[in-house]
Amino acid sequence: MKWGRIVVTSLKYIIIGVFILWVLVPVAWIITLAFKPYQEWRVAYFIPKQPTLDNFIVLFKPEVFTGVMGATAIVEPVTKPLINSLVVSALATVLAVIVGFFSAYGASRYNTPGPFGIFFTLLTRMLPPATFVTPIMVYYANLGLLDTHLGLIALYSSVTVTYAIWILKGFIDAIPVEWEEAAMLEGASPTKVLFKVVLPLVRPGLVVAGLFIFLLNWTELLFALVLTNINAVTLPVHISKYVGAVGQLYGPQAALALIGSIVPVTIGYIIQKHLVTGFTFGMVRG
Amino acid sequence: MKKVKLEVKNITKRFGDLLAVNNVSFEVYEGETFTLLGPSGCGKTTTLRIIAGLEKPDKGRVFIGGRDVTDVPPRERNVCLVFQEYAVFPHMTVYDNIAFGLKARKEPEELIARRVREVAELLGLTSVLNTKASKVGLSEKQRIALGRCLVVEPEILLLDEPLTLADAKIRETMRRELRRLQRELKITMIYVTHDQLEAMMLSDRIAVMNAGRLLQVGTPREIYEKPKNLFVAYFIGSPTINLIEGKLVRKDGKLVLEKEGLVLDATKLLEEAKGVGKIIGREIVIGIRPEDIQIDPSGHGVWKGEVELFEVSGDQLIVHIKLAEETKIRAMAPFSLRLRTGDIVGVAINPDKVHVFDRKTGERIDLLSIGEA
């Protein structure tokens, strides 16, 4: 009996331990790699013997280290892709959440565009994105949208609006219709009902949807890789450039990955309170 | 002459196959409390929502103060509805909740502040005005919901089972409060409930509904004393009315009620009643309220029976008496009456309190009016 419990407990911890390693080792590897000098990139230990910030500096001033890290060509400074990513992700997220809110309200309260319509919005998510890349590229080439911010924002927001609709519809469904009816009877116009009653109540939903969509946009690689070249290059595309034709710049790549993860981690930390109320909305209602 | 505030004319509403409201018409006078009473699903809430403008009737018209409002949107009807699950906005303070309607109408700030304070005082909410509405208790929520309606001074105040969520104690206080407020403010109030006791206590007039139809409109007394049909008789009153059915025939000089071979002597009960001759030979249902039956332990009365069991209900006893095989009645008796199961007791009934209904149609047969005619 006693032995049985010990076995069960230790098994439990072994499973948890394996899972933690599985999740954390790659993260730890990236963190330590970012601080390792060129000579230690391919070694099998974690803690760098001669920690350095060179990997970070080379991201912003690539010309300083030409040749030193075995690079055969210069990678553009990271500033532009970083700004591009921030602008594109943020604007596409805002657009998706706004459009998603109104669509979700219509779907929840007026059942538009019908039960199949709302399901249909998921259809584009059921095929691999690679399927859409070629046709979109042809469209964009003809519309002059290749390698533009506008092109990426339009594409990202139209792809992610699906998630906004589905997340927000759940939140709006949870608001009793009577609340809106009461407001209506007391003299509020439909617009007022929407902005004074519904909008404040789905605020946690807007945060959840916004965060989720922002992360999707922030990490999107495939579309950006195909549709951008110089002008509108995003961070994930830029990260991928460090290993390939220019050489094997593992250190700078890890450093940039680290920088790239600061934004979502910070956002997640700031709004975790909202996140909790968001995910448990049905329980805290009223 | 009483002024008609609301007129509902022949409204019918269907939800798919369900006929929720079936050709219902009634009038509500200014300043009265009018109750729509019926079991759940009888169409009372739908009727209320049609009056509010939240549902459109398939047929029929609604007039408020003489104006046809059938096609007028809810916010222009100047009626207000207190919902069963109080529509109180959790993201606003109590003050903002009450002020909502006035703000929506863009009233000046001073007027809003003054009106909200007045209403809060009236409802005893002054101390919680600055509290978030999600933080207050159920009884406050209920008063907030009421306050939100009172503040906009609607022509008609509609209430949809506002007391069902509250517990018994609060319900009692709120009932009294509502009656007081209605009297004080002289509001025209339409109240929906399935609780007949609540309806009797609150209303000036009651409309009893069942299966989408309006069965009877009248004062609580009229509905209790002269139920127009079996359903109303059965629905009003607690404990429920005793119903004995059978064919009334004269046999060997006696009046008896026959049903499937069972015979109950009703000579003493009905002999004296005027017009009884008109119902001899008809299938009828006799209704006698338990509170109209006196138990005589010495055995005198219309009938004799055996005490089967008794329940305690407040300071009263509900006594189940077996008159014959398959025929049992319930009677109210004072708590002080000493009874044991198995006792043979007499049952005294005032013939004036006997209700007679046609068994097939369920309609009331008024013995007196038949007699006079």
CA-CA-CA-CA torsion for B222, B226, B232, B233, nearest 10 degrees? 130
Closest residue in A to B150 (Cα–Cα): A186
Q: What is the pLDDT of residue B29?
A: 95
Burial letters B294-327, b for 16+ CB under 10 A, else e:
bbeeeeebbbebebeebeeeeebbbbbbebeeeb
Q: Which amino acid type is present at position B129?
A: L
A136-146: average pLDDT: 94
Longest dimension (CA), chain A: 74
Q: Is the domain of B275 the same as that of B159?
A: no
Domains held by chain B: number: 2
Q: Which has the minimum average pLDDT: A17-26, A151-160, B66-75, B158-167? A: B158-167
Q: Which of B15, B90, B85, B89 is nearest to B56 (CA)?
A: B15
CATH code for the domain of A223: 1.10.3720.10
Closest residue in B to A284 (Cα–Cα): B134
Closest residue in A to B158 (Cα–Cα): A185
Preceding amide of A113 cis, omega within 30: yes
Please name the member of A185, A187, A197 whose beta carbon is closest to the beta carbon of B52.
A185
For residue A26, pLDDT over 60 is answered with yes
Please name the member of B81, B84, B85 whose beta carbon is closest to the beta carbon of A185.
B81
CB atoms within 10 A of CB A178: 17
Tell me if A110 is assigned to some domain. Answer: yes
| C-alpha gyration radius of chain A | 24
Shortest distance between the Cα of B208 and any Cα of chain A, in A, equals 25
Q: Is the domain of A122 the same as that of A208?
A: yes
Shortest distance between the Cα of A92 and any Cα of chain B, in A, equals 28
Q: Is the domain of B25 the same as that of B160?
A: yes
CB-based contact, B112 to chain A, within 8 Å? no
Q: Is the domain of A107 the same as that of A227?
A: yes
Q: What is the pLDDT of residue A282?
A: 44
Domain assignment of residue A108, given as a range: 79-241
CB-based contact, B75 to chain A, within 8 Å? yes
A192 to chain B: which residues are within 8 Å by CB? 104
CATH code for the domain of B199: 3.40.50.300
CB-based contact, B133 to chain A, within 8 Å? no
CB-based contact, A174 to chain B, within 8 Å? no
Question: CB–CB of A188 and B104 under 8 A?
Answer: yes
Question: CB–CB of B83 and A182 under 8 A?
Answer: yes
A257-278: average pLDDT: 81
Q: Is the domain of B221 the same as that of B249?
A: no
CB-based contact, A192 to chain B, within 8 Å? yes
CB-based contact, A191 to chain B, within 8 Å? no
- With 0-12 / 13-18 / 19 or more C-beta atoms within 10 angstroms meaning exposed / middle / buried, residue A128 is exposed
Distances A6 to A1, A9, A16, A19 between C-alpha atoms, Å = 9, 5, 15, 20
Shortest distance between the Cα of A247 and any Cα of chain B, in A, equals 56
Q: Is the domain of B272 the same as that of B169?
A: no
For A252, residues 6+ apart whose C-beta sits below 8 A from its C-beta are: A55, A56, A58, A59, A69, A75, A242
Question: CB–CB of B91 and A181 under 8 A?
Answer: no
Q: Is the domain of A47 the same as that of A110?
A: no
Tell me if A260 is assigned to some domain. Answer: no
Domains held by chain A: number: 2
Q: Which has the minimum average pLDDT: A98-107, A211-220, B145-154, B278-287? A: B278-287
Pairwise CA distance, residues B25 & A124, whole Å = 53
Distances B213 to A193, B36, B37, B190 between C-alpha atoms, Å = 34, 11, 11, 17
For residue A113, pLDDT over 90 is answered with no
For residue A41, pLDDT over 80 is answered with yes
Q: What is the pLDDT of residue A1?
A: 64
B85 to chain A: which residues are within 8 Å by CB? 176, 178
Q: Is the domain of A34 the same as that of A88?
A: no
Please identify, among B169, B203, B235, the residue that sits at the C-terminal boundary of a domain. B235
Write out chain B's pLDDT in tens, 373 residues.
689 999 999 999 999 899 999 999 999 999 999 999 999 989 999 999 999 999 999 999 999 999 999 999 998 999 999 998 888 998 899 999 999 999 998 999 999 999 999 999 988 899 999 999 988 888 888 889 999 999 999 999 999 988 877 777 778 888 888 888 888 888 999 999 999 989 998 999 999 999 999 999 999 999 999 999 999 999 998 889 999 988 888 888 788 888 877 778 887 777 777 777 778 888 999 999 999 998 888 888 888 888 998 888 888 889 999 888 778 899 998 888 888 888 888 888 887 888 999 998 999 988 765 544 3
Q: Is the domain of B61 the same as that of B84?
A: yes
CB-based contact, A123 to chain B, within 8 Å? no
Pairwise CA distance, residues A215 & B199, whole Å = 57
Q: Is the domain of B132 the same as that of B259?
A: no
Q: What is the pLDDT of residue B24?
A: 95
Q: What is the pLDDT of residue A43?
A: 87
Q: Is the domain of A98 the same as that of A171?
A: yes
Q: What is the pLDDT of residue B1?
A: 64
Q: Please provide the average confidence, as pLDDT, over all residues in chain A.
A: 87
Q: Is the domain of B226 the same as that of B83?
A: yes
Question: CB–CB of B85 and A182 under 8 A?
Answer: no
**Is the CB of residue B126 less than 8 Å from the CB of residue B120?**
yes
Q: Is the domain of A19 the same as that of A141?
A: no
Tell me if A250 is assigned to some domain. Answer: no
For residue A203, pLDDT over 70 is answered with yes
Closest residue in A to B83 (Cα–Cα): A178
**Is the CB of residue A284 less than 8 Å from the CB of residue A277?**
yes
% of chain A with per-residue pLDDT over 90 = 53
Burial letters B77-116, b for 16+ CB under 10 A, else e:
bbbbbbbbbbbbbbebbbbbbbbbbbbbeebeeeebeebb
HEC secondary structure over chain B? CCCEEEEEEEEEEEECCEEEEEEEEEEEECCCEEEEECCCCCCHHHHHHHHHCCCCCCEEEEEECCEECCCCCHHHCCEEEECCCCCCCCCCEHHHHHHHHHHHCCCCHHHHHHHHHHHHHHHCCHHHCCCEHHHCCHHHHHHHHHHHHHCCCCCEEEEECCCCCCCHHHHHHHHHHHHHHHHHHCCEEEEEECCHHHHHHHCCEEEEEECCEEEEEECHHHHHHCCCEHHHHHHCCCCCCEEEEEEEEEECCEEEEEECCEEEECHHHHCCCCCHHHHCCCEEEEEECHHHEEEECCCCCCEEEEEEEEEEECCEEEEEEEEECCEEEEEEEECCCCCCCCCEEEEEECHHHCEEEECCCCEECCHHHHHHC
Q: What is the pLDDT of residue B367?
A: 75
- ipTM > 0.85 for the complex: no
Q: Residue A286's pLDDT band (boundaries 50, 70, 90)?
A: very low
Tell me if A154 is assigned to some domain. Answer: yes
Tell me if A275 is assigned to some domain. Answer: no
Q: Is the domain of A95 the same as that of A221?
A: yes
For residue A78, pLDDT over 70 is answered with yes
Please name the member of B73, B104, B145 whose beta carbon is closest to the beta carbon of A192.
B104
Domain assignment of residue B258, given as a range: 242-372
CB-based contact, B104 to chain A, within 8 Å? yes
Closest residue in B to A202 (Cα–Cα): B91
Q: What is the pLDDT of residue B139?
A: 83
Which of residues 183 through 242 in chain B touch A, CB cutoff 8 A?
A: none
Q: Which of B94, B84, B3 is nearest to B44 (CA)?
A: B84
Question: CB–CB of A201 and B91 under 8 A?
Answer: yes
Q: Is the domain of B199 the same as that of B312?
A: no
Q: Is the domain of B187 the same as that of B286?
A: no
Distances B167 to B124, B161, B183 between C-alpha atoms, Å = 19, 13, 24
Question: CB–CB of B85 and A176 under 8 A?
Answer: yes
Please name the member of B80, B105, B134 whose beta carbon is closest to the beta carbon of A286.
B134
**Is the CB of residue B152 less than 8 Å from the CB of residue B171?**
no
Question: CB–CB of B90 and A286 under 8 A?
Answer: yes
Q: What is the pLDDT of residue A83?
A: 95
Q: Is the domain of B166 the same as that of B252?
A: no
Distances B230 to A80, A160, B243, B288, B363 between C-alpha atoms, Å = 84, 61, 9, 12, 7
CATH code for the domain of B257: 2.40.50.140
